[in-house]
A and B are shown apart, each in its own frame.
Chain A
Amino acid sequence: MGPLVPDIIPREIDLVFAFFIGIFFGYILEQAGFSTSKKLVGLFYGYDFTVLRVFFTAGLTAMVGIVILTHFGLLDMDYVYINPLFLKSAIIGGLIMGLGFVIGGFCPGTSVCAAAIGKIDAMFFVLGGFLGVIFFSETYSIWEGIYKASYLGNPQLFETLGISRELTAILFIVVAVVAFYFTTKLEKKLNPNEILDDTPKPYYKYILTGVVVLLILIPFLPDKKASLLKKVDDTNFILSQNIPMMTIDEFAYRIWDRDKKLIPVDLRSEKEYKQLQLPYSVNVQEFKQLFDKKLYRKINLRNNQLVFIANDELTEKKAAYIASQIGYKNIFILKKGMPEFIASYINFVPTKIDEHASKLVLDTYRFREMASKELPKIIEENKPKSVTNDKPKRVLGGC
């Protein structure tokens, strides 16, 4: 489902959305006290750890939300911007930013926020930031080497550490709670007279425990994908489903007609698929491939008709049922399956036909006779020339 842009929400509206997200972002930053450099640098001198509390709580909230949404199939992280890892520039850039932080007293987001309520020092910080960006662009040749060095892809920390998402989130929570505890002690020591309103209230404990328990339980909760894949094992249930069928003759006619809106979803093995690759078809060897967002975007277009084809109707029906449950539209299954289609069209054998048979039988026979000559040509000319490999396209993000 998510990200909603661009499938559900168009890109133009995304910019309007960004504006509103910004309003909330700015409002919260200011309300939290990020509009004064004194509070921000307090973090580095030990007298005010507000920044640490807000920052970690925000990061963890979003992180836990992502774990939950991903688990239940509501958010596909393959389409979310994951900051790339250029090890050298990440470290050097980070250290330069740290230096800028203690000298200037702001970071870019907080300086904009502080400038908005009239802090003059913040306005100069924004100006400095602007000059820094221009300086980088103008002296890019100096930096380019470091900037592009040691590229390691877009790894996520749980991959780097080789542990689960949930455990990674729990580790972050543990680190955060320990940090909150000790920094609050230090803060009180350095700042005995001023009471910073941040003593964790008792119910925080319950919220925290709840979140950790949830993270532990999540891997055991069935997600939509697993439960659907399990459901189709129930043959009687699948047989009771009512899914529109397409006859092999209509199917053949549409292929002959070079109908681009007819998308055969071929559930057979790769070998069988390669032997007979119908025009505009896609090969889905395993049901779980149906959950791929890339496939969904490619074939689930308006006016497309998806015909699930396999060696038996039951397999077709299973795949069609899963597809119907995850948002695919205009789904059909091929009546009697591929063996019947292949026998009647691809391996058409002329037979003597009773001239007194009904008109329908005669017409069908003549159609099959003609189509069996044309279809192989159409199939041949539509064979893909090269293998296309389209990787998921992430949103271009970052700062």
Chain B
Amino acid sequence: MEPTKYMNPYLAGFLLGLVLLLAIFVSGRGLGASGAIKSFGVYVVEKVAPEHAQNTKYYQEYSADHAGNPLKNWLVFEVLGVIIGAFISGLVSNRLDFKLEKGPKVQTNTVRIISAIIGGFLFGLGAQLGRGCTSGAALSGMAVFSTGGIITMFAIFGGAYAFAYFFRKLWL
């Protein structure tokens, strides 16, 4: 079966905005994503190398701010939901498929895999510095009028536009 068409972007945006508003109204916080990756990273390091975690400043500061198991975290539960929600959406719209997508001029899968890893790596690093990613800093920050979130939003999209030219061969 053919995949169904995507939802109208304005309708999708409106619904997404309502979900974000609900999160703020109920939990007092917006959506996020990279925070869950961070919690998972801290969890892995604490399990694999507990001594190292105890002696490293960042993990000390993290556990001072976040008591208990790093996985018992709002964003971790939210991202588990994202996986299931996206899966359901892919299922009902016939988009479930193992597929590696790349730009038309990218010759090998290796190039795409390496660029995906590098991109993810940079995003992970940048999200730590910026205290949030596109969801947690830019989108949720804009909704609550956070000056910090809005500055990060401009930096993300501004940066992407500034660097886009140099990586056009990956996509065009």
A interface residues with partner B (beta carbon < 8 Å): 2-5, 9, 14-33, 35-38, 41, 43-45, 50, 53-63, 65-66, 69, 74-75, 77, 79-87, 89-122, 124-138, 140-141, 143-144, 146-147, 152, 154-160, 165, 168, 172, 197-198, 200, 204, 394-399
Within 8 A of A (CB), among B137-172: 137-164, 166-168, 170-172
For A197, the chain B residues whose CB sits under 8 A away are 5-6, 8
Q: Give the CA-CA distance A100 to B129 in the complex, in Å.
A: 13
Q: Determine whether the beta carbon of B72 is less than 8 Å from that of A15.
A: yes
Does the CB pair B120–A124 fall under 8 Å?
yes
Q: Are B17 and A57 in contact (CB under 8 A)?
A: yes
Docked-complex contact B81 and A85, CB < 8 angstroms: no
Chain A residue nearest in CB terms to B122: A100
How many B residues face the partner with a CB closer than 8 A?
A: 130
Distance in Å from the Cβ of B158 to the closest Cβ of chain A? 7
CA distance A81 to B157 in the complex (A): 23
CB-defined contacts of B112 to chain A, threshold 8 Å: 121
Most buried by A among B82, B100, B122: B82
- In the complex, the answer to whether A134 meets B82 with C-beta atoms within 8 Å is no
Instruction: Say whether B33 contacts A395, CB under 8 Å.
Output: no
A108 and B134 in contact, given A28-B16, A61-B14, A124-B117 (Cβ under 8 angstroms):
yes
**A96 and B102 form a contact (CB under 8 A):** no
Across the interface, do A21 and B86 meet the contact criterion of CB distance under 8 Å?
no
Tell me the bound Cα distance from A26 to B84 in angstroms. Answer: 7
B65 at the interface (CB under 8 A from A): yes
Query: In angstroms, how far is the closest chain A Cβ from the Cβ of B63?
Result: 12
Nearest Cβ in chain B — how far from A129, in angstroms? 4
Q: B residues within 8 A CB of A41?
A: 164, 171
Q: Take A27-B85, A399-B136 as given contacts and tell me if A157 and B156 are in contact as well, using a CB distance cutoff of 8 Å.
A: no
| Closest chain B residue to A3, Cβ basis | B28
Q: Which residues of A contact B75 (CB under 8 A)?
A: 18, 399
Q: When the two chains form the complex, which single residue of A56, A120, A129 contacts B13, counting CB atoms closer than 8 Å?
A: A56
Max chain A Cβ within 10 angstroms of own Cβ: one of B72, B78, B98, B129: B129
The 20 sampled A-B contact pairs (Cβ below 8 Å) are A4-B25, A22-B78, A27-B85, A33-B9, A53-B10, A58-B12, A62-B24, A66-B21, A83-B148, A83-B149, A93-B152, A93-B155, A100-B122, A103-B163, A128-B118, A128-B122, A132-B122, A141-B57, A197-B6, A399-B135
